[in-house]
Amino acid sequence: MVDPSRQETLRRAIELLFFGYREFTDRPDRILERRGLGRVHHRILYFVGRNPAVSVKGLLEILAVSKQALSVPLRQLTEMKLVAVLAGTSDRRVKRLVLTPEGRRLEADLTGTQMRRLSAAFEAAGDDDEAGWMRVMERLARTELQPSSPAGAA
Amino acid sequence: MVDPSRQETLRRAIELLFFGYREFTDRPDRILERRGLGRVHHRILYFVGRNPAVSVKGLLEILAVSKQALSVPLRQLTEMKLVAVLAGTSDRRVKRLVLTPEGRRLEADLTGTQMRRLSAAFEAAGDDDEAGWMRVMERLARTELQPSSPAGAA
DNA sequence: CTGACCGGTCAAAGATATTGACCTATCGAC
DNA sequence: GTCGATAGGTCAATATCTTTGACCGGTCAG
């Protein structure tokens, strides 16, 4: 049994994550919408930008989706000349993906809104809080939870 | 133009949010899957639990979805006796939603995994980092970003 | 009585994701 | 050179989710 006031804190945290994440994705989503694109397109642009010359397989592992789910949006982005494929590497089976200048522009536009939002929150909260936020998020993003207690133990 | 090392920090933050949120929802999603339910069902259970006797309209505003999108999962939950409808309030147009004991159990199971995950991250990081995390998230969840600069200014 | 509101439903449409099967090209090892 | 494994792609069927639009009944307040 968990301390009730601790529970209250944890539930506030859950809600902050829910509403925070929704706010966080809202603006990019609306920019994408104007071009008929979705959140996956942003993710592709983002991670190709962050990992230049990444392979399709590498992207699949980062995004954790099926290759069929990646294939369509990725093709759209290459057709729109936002993502380019580098030829002639050592292993010719592997495609190396990069952003085109135009792709970089859109990515900067999309991610820029998120960086500004984060930046505003960090500045308002101060450096210590920013550092604390990062440390907590690092745990949150990496923590594997132990196999949950056999149904209904709560 | 943003300081490059600042950019790097902000991009790290973006990735932490992306991967962190995905980790965060993973376990509840798999519990729900076993019952043929989805994330919306969890959200309904969560917010009905947090706001006992909430109206359908209130729930719609919290979740920010169309009433058609709410209607099906909500009906499923009431049919499964996880959510109950309180009758006879002052305004008889309004339904008051509450969790049944069984609904409370499932909600506790789902949210419990998230509370344990958060709790583990908070404990590992320490009280100061926890407080900092909360303050940053509060800004993040509430900050309205100024209208974005006219396309391509990035 | 009437307009506004709460709740619900049907229908059409589109987007998103999945699994499964199958294909080519290439690589590395034998 | 053959062969198994890998990278990438595609078609198809299926399922889910969500949206907009149009309506409905019941209820409330003036």
Query: What's the longest Cα–Cα distance across chain B?
Result: 61
This prediction's pTM: 0.90
* pLDDT score at B88: 67
CB atoms within 10 A of CB A55: 16
- DSSP string covering B131-151, please? HHHHHHHHHHHHPPPPPPPSS
Rounded Cα distance between A122 and A129, Å, is 7
Nearest residue by alpha-carbon distance to C1' of D28? B91
Give me the residues of B, 65-104, that contact A with CB < 8 A. none
**Helix, coil or strand: residue B153:** coil
Closest residue, chain B, to A125 (C-alpha): B136
Each residue of B95-149: pLDDT tens digit?
Answer: 999 999 999 999 999 999 999 999 999 999 999 999 999 999 999 998 654 444 4
Are B14 and A115 in contact (CB < 8 Å)? yes
Backbone dihedral angles phi then psi of residue B99, each to the nearest 5 degrees:
-85, 140
Each residue of B52-92: pLDDT tens digit?
Answer: 999 999 999 999 999 999 999 999 999 999 999 997 678 88
pLDDT grade for A72, boundaries at 50, 70 and 90: very high
Quote the minimal CA–CA distance from A27 to chain B in Å. 9
β-bridge mates for residue B84, sequence order = B98
The dihedral through the CA atoms of A119, A123, A127, A128 has a sign that is: negative
| Tokens read off for A2 | 């968990």
- DSSP string covering A119-147, please? HHHHHHH-HHHHHHHHHHHHHHHHPPPPP
Query: Which bases of strand D sit closer than 7 A to a protein CB?
Result: 6-12, 16-22, 25-29
Q: What is the enclosing helix (H) or strand (E) of B85?
A: strand B83-86
Q: In this structure, is the CB of residue A34 within 7 Å of any atom belonging to strand C?
A: no
Q: Is pLDDT of A99 > 70?
A: yes
Give me the residues of A, 2-21, that contact B with CB < 8 A. 2, 6-7, 10-21
Give me the residues of A, 44-63, that contact B with CB < 8 A. 46, 50
